[in-house]
Structure 1
Amino acid sequence: MENLLASLVKKAKVEAEEALRQCVAALNGLAGVHILLGEWSLAEEKYRSILKLADEYKQNLKVDTLQKIHTLHNLAEILENGVSASSLTLKDEAKELEAKYLNKCSRKISCAKEAVDPLTDAVENFLQSDTMTCKQPWWVQVLDWSCSSNYADELVRKVKNDISDYMSGTGKSRSSAKINDVSDANGLRYHLLIQIDELIDKRDLVLEEMKQLTKMGNEPTEASRLVMVAVDCHLRQTSCSSAIVSVGSKRKAQSDISSNISKEGNKRKSGQKKKRSSKCDLCEADANLERYEALLFKVLRQKVEGEAVLLTEDGHAEKNEGDDDAQAVKVFGQLSRGNWAAGEIERMLKVVLGFAKSKKLDQKIIEQGNTQIKLMESMKKEYKYLRILWRQLNDQVSAIDELNMAKLRLGLRDTEEVKEAKQRKKVVGNLSTNLHSKLESLHLLNQHELEPYAARLSAELAGGSCDLRKRVGQLFYLQNLEKANSGRHGGMNPDPCPICRKVLGEKWSVLQCGHCYCTECIKVLVTEYSGRGGSVKCAVCREMTHHAEISYVDTSGGPGDYCVQNEGLRILSPL
């Protein structure tokens, strides 16, 4: 029974926090509407109601961090004209929450960096060894020996056959097509030399980019710039980050970051009328990681970049070369497919090494070959953690962008923005996969939309408050049952069934609200008094429970803990 109660408490807590989240969202929205209407005292009241809710339920429920940051930031902005001590305290609390929110990402980046560094050192040790620094690599010596011993054709044939068989499948890589052009040992030597040099160069480039990204993440100014470019590049592909809201009769920037983004965005738009923005540092690093991966691992199909296509009113498709891509539809081809298997370079080196072993060449050559194969294995291990590091850096940028978005509140559209929206509103606009026009002004309203929007938020607040009271009451009831050690006294439940008043004893059922019924009464409720959706209404609190969520407890089987399914009921037997 204790395991069942713990599960019910956990679920009730999640549902209560979801109801609390709905209430906070409605209150934040209403506060934003009051600000647009110039009702500053009502806006302050709504924000303080959120803080009151957070304090009231702080022992059992947690307010969403981003929602609380929004509340503290905007409440402090309302009070900052008076430069009161309360506004300074609110700002400090908001900064503390932001730091705590970002520290999670920073810790993950540190862990990923600690995992990468030893692997990077191992690769560097291999690269600085005699095998990699000698004037004539071991595989060149093998190729020279094959030419002088008339085994060159055999070696080239073995390499080409191995690569052809290995890289065949559902697709064909670009590199495997190049190996088909090799006809002699000199061609193979040139191909291997180019591939190995490219591999080393790509690794150096990736390491340098990871170093720069990590450094930028530790500097607030550089991190802000990186977020600004990433927002325009791939995070949202819109100018939401530079949006400003109406506070009274003035337009105020949400933060220094948003202001900088707006200025940078205006410069970019004025300077590049017909040129699309370049990739951000994160996307450049990701692209280089993919190229590096294609050299290290087996990748069969190359990535086909999406092309922005502009749909005209007559249904024809045109290439979109302009800056305004609100109606653009991006068409993508086959993406690259790969796995962690050895790449073409490693396979060729292994074939050459196997040839050297079969011909019993100098042992020093064999040892150098084994060393380079170990180097390839180390580089593959390093790559996996480099990819994890990039992912954590990308998550950090996304987290900073989430904080910037969390501070935004409702705003009024400008007259020019309304005209532009009407011009962009075409029949083909709804078919666009570009979110520019859909997300850019998501938080902006027209003047005539304020009252209906406030009415909708008020209805959501009323429903959320009612649901919150019900969920919190259910949570408290289940927590009290858990504290009372219900169902642990000798395997017997002394409580009576609320319907027939019989002692529950060794077998009883439990609804999601925590109320218990005997097996006979729950059978009648399920078979004769179920709703259309297959749910049962509790006779005590009227809470609905789906048939699949009804739990059945049986303590008559002695010690043991098992769970089986029986006609949609979960049958549990506690210790």
Structure 2
Amino acid sequence: MEFAHKFFKEIMWRSSKLHVADELQLPPQEERVSWLTFSAIEEHFYQRQHETCVSYAREVIESLKDDILKRNVPGSVSSDALDDFFVTPNEAAKLLNSLLKLRQACCHPQVGSSGLRSLQQSPMTMEEILMVLISKTKIEGEEALRKLVVALNALAGIAIIKQIFSDAVSLYKEALALTVEYVEDFRLDPLLNIHIHHNLGEILPVVTDCSLEVSSNGKKLHGSSEKISQTHIYGVDVSKQQKLSGEDNSESIIDAENSMDLKDGIIQEGNDKCDASLSSSRSLRTTCEDLKQKYLSVFISKLSVAQDEFKKSYILVCNAFRDKKDQHTIWWLDALHHAEQNKDFSNELIRKIEEAVSGSLNNSRSSKIASCFQTVTALKYHIQTRLDQLEASRKMLMDRLLEIDQTMDKPKEEDIERVRHCRICQSIGDGPVCVHCELDELFKDYEARLFRLNKSDGEIIISAEEAVHLQQKNSALNRFYWNLGRLGRSQSSVDNCTDESKRRDVRDRVVVISFIFRFLS
């Protein structure tokens, strides 16, 4: 290299900028560094990105350390192994990617793949970015509050199962205090709020009966009063409870008159606590009922709208059926009767029907179906049988639907229990079938008779029984894969099951049978 440098130096000339600065009249070069400060919004966004990148970088470094330890023989790991380890370009890119996100965050919160996204093409203003950050933080806060309240409710439920009602009251009160404290900032799930008020209203009288029972001779409270006195259940301070109960009686001498006053005070305090507990319980139940009605009002309004639409459609269809029954003749039966009078015309009609069936099915079963239409009489019998089955299926469906509609305002207790333990919608193996799943089966049967179902490969289903069986088979298969992914398997197996269930999902096309509607019109 030195030889080449000396050789080319003799025959080539290279001037630096310093040598020709006077000739080119270049101004002197200056280097200025300007330190920019983030605004409050930019600083908050950068700090969030920094926390995310640091967490990700730590995970990458820990994984690299684990790889180093795995490559070495167990028991012979030394500090030199970490020094000699070579980081591959892919591993280095994982670390540098975090630094890239931070550099992009310095430019603008919308720069880069990890930046904020908006529907508009132009960059967002700082006020718009602030609203996006506030909404994201609000969602994160609501989720954190929900997880905390769920955990407190679960611990309180465990305490109720163990019959440690004082701990349950304390936990429910803590959850209730959290909801009140953050009510202006974060919205709590209404069901969790109803859970707290309902259970707290149920166990407050139980705690009162167990802990504030006063003996007939005015002695100290018994049961679990010592444990409950420290939970501050009814708003009475612990020190006040100790003073009222006369806890410090080691060497003090009280005369009979003061002793009677103290006992009367204990009894009066116990009665006051009972009254306060009952009042709190009634207040909690009232609040719970208000929350329940507010939560159900949305669904009740939707149900009312759906019921009104159903009643209008039901009345129209009933009127159409009544007008149909007033007709003394059936047009399609008369048409087939006239066709039967002419032998050539009837044979031509049967031939066209066979060709239509064979062309639609295009398989070995077409001949079996076409054999049902050898004569016009057989055709009339087949059509009338299918129409009778369709009408019977509709009547069964409507009777059950109207029966359920009558119980929408006040559902039966047994129906509620069946919904709770349904083996189909709740995925309980040996539970009963709820009324809604039973109604769904009736809908499928009616749908299979009213419409023509095609399989995913285009093959036509020839009977309603086959269509119902196919739908039940696919529903059972989908439930199996859904439950399989719900059992807490690894994420990869869940994704595979989800993809498999999508591939096995019902993909049969529904095509309206035109002549059925002509018969009903």
* TM-score, length of structure 2 as denominator length: 0.49
Which is bigger in relative contact order (C-alpha 8 A, separation at least 6)?
A: 1
Larger radius of gyration: 2
Which structure features the higher share of strand residues? 1
TM-score (norm 1): 0.45
Of Structure 1 and Structure 2, which has the larger fraction of its residues in helix?
2
